Amino acid sequence: MTQPQTPFYLIDKSLLRANMEKIARLRDRSGARALLALKCFATWSVFDLMRDYMDGTTSSSLYELRLGAEEFGKETHAYSVAWADHEIDEAVSHADKIIFNSLGQLDRFVGKAGGIATGLRLNPRFSTSGFDLADPARPFSRLGEWDIARLDAAMDRISGVMIHYNCENADFDLFDHQLGRIESEFGDILQRLDWVSLGGGIHFTGDGYPLDRLADRLAAFSQKHGVQVYLEPGEASITGTTTLQVSVLDLIDNGKQVAIVDSSIEAHMLDLLIYRETAKLPQDGPHEYQIAGKTCLAGDIFGDARFARPLKIGDRIGIADAAGYTMVKKNWFNGVAMPAIAIREEDGTIRTVRSFSYDEYKSSLS
Ligand SMILES: *Cc1c(COP(=O)(O)O)cnc(C)c1O
């Protein structure tokens, strides 16, 4: 297939490789292992490239777990906020490690782990998330155990813990400080473990991030406590690699120039709507437009963009950062055509790896 009709997500492999090279550098220098967090990005057509630079995958459900085992391979961590009785045997069959969210789930299922490594989620009760919705340390959080007595009660049955508390944290000093807090509050426990996963949310592939300082901090942590460190980068793995390509269908002047495109923020970039953020749109030139989606939702608006020339019907617009928490959330709202998935190869050619039809819209319901 050649370049598809818009809308389509376009993954740029050379940009993806640049992120992967940063991950590889971090792994080499720190000794930490890096697992792709599939809840952020699960577009398996590019796993061939990612596999050479990462150690495997981590998951938040049975289906993600199975996808990681089938399509990525290498090391596969299984985590879920709550496993069901009917899932546990299959989960264990796909996993190298299974991480329980609560002492209750550990008690219930550890006997079924069949010899694979088991862990527990530790919630340090602080985080870097600015959004209540995504804050694992929010009041009454259900994500992990923090009580030392409850953690102690698990120690004879676990070999590690997973601590996910960062969220797009680009501030190394804050990371360093919070890791120090974890060491002082939970050091006794860490000392008795074989591995510690520090979760995702560290924005270490961003421009200007002090990657080597992070690597050295992780190496020191690993050495001090005698643990294998894991990281679970989602957003950091794929940030900046992908665009959503759309075309202008109509131009309206309502006191503001509005360009309606063949896509929808609710259907194709839902995460932005949930967190009330605007899309990353072109910002060069004097001609300003509000870029809006084609659903019936009044607020289906990507944001404001600027162009060198006035827009015309049929013009193509690329919306940046369309990989993380984006492709995994696309949906059929309003029956808007689902974006195809295309890859820009490193020689510049564009290859369509998936397109969606009416039949798939129909078969998503019954
Ligand atoms: C969401 C999540 C990740 C990935 O987070 P990013 O911010 O995308 O890096 C990693 N681990 C766990 C447990 C998660 O819930």
pLDDT 10s digits, 19-74: 999 999 999 999 999 999 999 999 999 999 999 999 999 999 999 999 999 999 99
For residue 233, is the peptide bond before it cis, meaning its omega torsion is within 30 degrees of 0? no
pLDDT band at 324 (very low <50, low <70, confident <90, very high): very high
Residue nearest to atom 15 of ligand 1 (CA): 164
In ligand 1, the atom with minimum distance to the C-alpha of 232 is: 10
**Spacing, Cα 199 to ligand 1 middle (Å):** 6
Range 124-152 average pLDDT: 94
Q: Is the pLDDT of residue 1 over 80?
A: no
Please report the atom of ligand 1 found closest to the CA of residue 325.
Answer: 8
Q: Which atom of ligand 1 is nearest to the CA of 234?
A: 8
| Ligand 1 nearest-atom number relative to CA 236 | 9
Per-residue model confidence as pLDDT tens digits over 211-266: 999 999 999 999 999 999 999 999 999 999 999 999 999 999 999 999 999 999 99
- pLDDT on residue 299: 96
Task: Give the per-residue pLDDT at 106.
Answer: 98
Q: Which residue has the tokens 């665009």?
A: 243
Percent of the chain scoring above 90 in pLDDT: 98
CA of 203 to the centre of ligand 1 (A): 11
Q: What is the pLDDT of residues 70-80, one digit of tens each?
A: 999 999 999 99
CA atoms within 13 A on the CB side of 265: 26
CB 91 within 8 A of CB 148: no
pLDDT of residue 2: 62
Q: Would you state the pLDDT for residue 99?
A: 98
pLDDT of residue 329: 98
CA atoms of 295 and 301, how far apart (whole Å): 10
Taking CA atoms only, the protein residue closest to ligand 1 atom 2 is 200
Q: Are strands 8-12 and 287-292 parallel, antiparallel or unpaired?
A: unpaired
The Å distance, Cα 170 to ligand 1 centre, comes to 15
Which among 19, 33, 36, 40 is the best mutation to test ligand 1's pocket, defined by most ligand atoms within 8 Å of the CB? 40
Cβ-in-10-Å burial (0-12, 13-18, 19+) of 354 comes to middle
Nearest CA to ligand 1 atom 5: 200
Is residue 130's pLDDT more than 90? no
Query: How confident is residue 295, by pLDDT bands cut at 50, 70 and 90?
Result: very high
Q: How far is the CA of 137 from the centre of ligand 1 (A)?
A: 14
Indicate whether 3 pLDDT > 90: no
State how beta strands 33-37 and 350-354 pair: unpaired
pTM of the model: 0.97
The contacts of residue 215 (CB under 8 Å, 6+ apart) are 25, 26, 29, 30, 32
Ligand 1 binding pocket mutation candidate from 39, 231, 235 (most atoms within 8 A of CB): 39
Please count the CA atoms within 13 angstroms of the CA of 94 that sit on its side-chain side: 26
Average pLDDT over residues 76-101: 98
Q: Which atom of ligand 1 is nearest to the CA of 41?
A: 8
Distance 309 CA to ligand 1 centre (A): 40
Which atom in ligand 1 lies closest to the alpha carbon of residue 237?
Answer: 9
For 270-297, what is the mean pLDDT?
97
**What pLDDT is attached to residue 113?**
97
What mean pLDDT value characterizes the chain?
97
Q: What average pLDDT does range 316-322 have in this prediction? A: 98
> Which residues are CB-neighbours of 7 under 8 A, at least 6 positions away?
244, 245, 246, 247, 261, 262, 263, 268, 337, 339, 340
Point out the ligand 1 atom lying closest to the alpha carbon of residue 167. Answer: 7
Compute, in angstroms, the gap from residue 277 CA to the centroid of ligand 1: 19
Say which residues have a Cβ less than 8 Å from residue 280's Cβ, sequence separation at least 6: 319, 320, 321
Residue position matching structure tokens 């050495």: 223
CB within 6 Å of ligand 1 — which residues?
A: 37, 39-40, 79, 164, 167, 199-201, 232-236
